[in-house]
Amino acid sequence: MADRIAPSDPDGALDDAPVSTLAGDPDEHEINRRLRAQYAEIAQLAGGLAHEIRNPLSTISLNLDLLAEDFQQPETPRDRRALQKIERLRREGRRLQTLLEDFLRLVRVQDLRLEPADLNLVVEEMRDFCEPQAMAQGIIVRSHYADDLPRVLLDVDLFKQALLNLFINARQAMPDGGELILTTRRDGSWVVLDITDTGLGMTDEVRSRIFDAFYSTRPGGSGLGLPTTRKIIEAHGGDIRVESEPGKGSQFTIRLPEAGTR
């Protein structure tokens, strides 16, 4: 291959030229299109790899279940040790399967089935679903819904998964009970949902990393729940922010564009 020769520029005129005229940079739309295409390819590869892992993992788990049945009534110390090892492997297998399913949910957030939806109704349905478990943990759920809230375009099932992740996160932050407050409001062309808990709160360091994949402060946590939530919300054209203070709780704020403004 021949060496590339830089053009002569005795007067230094190129130093002040716009970057786009020098390098022929594509416009922002083209860059975004390429990034989306690259992400779709990576997501497809990651999803395929996860499926390939899931099949032998299911086989391993099934055989461990069968082995556990064979050792259900251990008669010797050796049998008891074998059963303990089998149970340890079964627990790790279940943990890996949960991690794999969480990962698959993360990479599948691509094509949405959007339809106009009432955010108040969607949030209330999730409240009805989650409230019994919250109450059993001593958590009081309160809601304050804005009247005449504009509709938003949602893939309702996928958005409910994002809300479920946030509700689970809030419940885990209040092991001794507390309050979970759900508030909807309008902010210009945005429809906003605040999810506030009175739990343990987070340090600035933790707060800055909670949306990082595989980061978790909870033993055994996959660290994929909140990254998946953010990805779902951003796929809807919205964003999510969090404010928190140790010992006082956290507030997650979701902003979604009104239907017709995307």
| Helix H or strand E encompassing 229 | helix 225-235
Show me where the domains of the chain are located.
28-107, 115-257
- Alpha-carbon distance 135 to 141, whole Å? 8
Q: What is the pLDDT of residues 187-197, one digit of tens each?
A: 998 999 999 99
- Alpha-carbon distance 255 to 262, whole Å? 13
What is the assigned CATH class of domain 28-107?
Answer: mainly alpha
Strands 190-197 and 249-257: antiparallel
- CATH architecture of the domain 115-257 equals 2-Layer Sandwich (3.30)
| Helix H or strand E encompassing 129 | helix 119-136
Q: What is the pLDDT of residues 109-137, one digit of tens each?
A: 666 788 999 999 999 999 999 999 999 99
For residue 154, the SS3 value is strand
Specify the residue for token string 């707060």.
Answer: 207
pLDDT at 62: 87
pLDDT at 2 over 60: no
Specify the residue for token string 């660290």.
Answer: 223
pLDDT at 148 over 50: yes
Q: What is the pLDDT of residues 229-243, one digit of tens each?
A: 888 898 888 999 999
Q: What is the pLDDT of residues 157-185, one digit of tens each?
A: 889 989 998 999 999 999 999 999 999 99
Backbone angles phi, psi at 240, to 5 degrees: -135, 140
Q: Which of 222, 214, 115, 87 is nearest to 168 (CA)?
A: 222
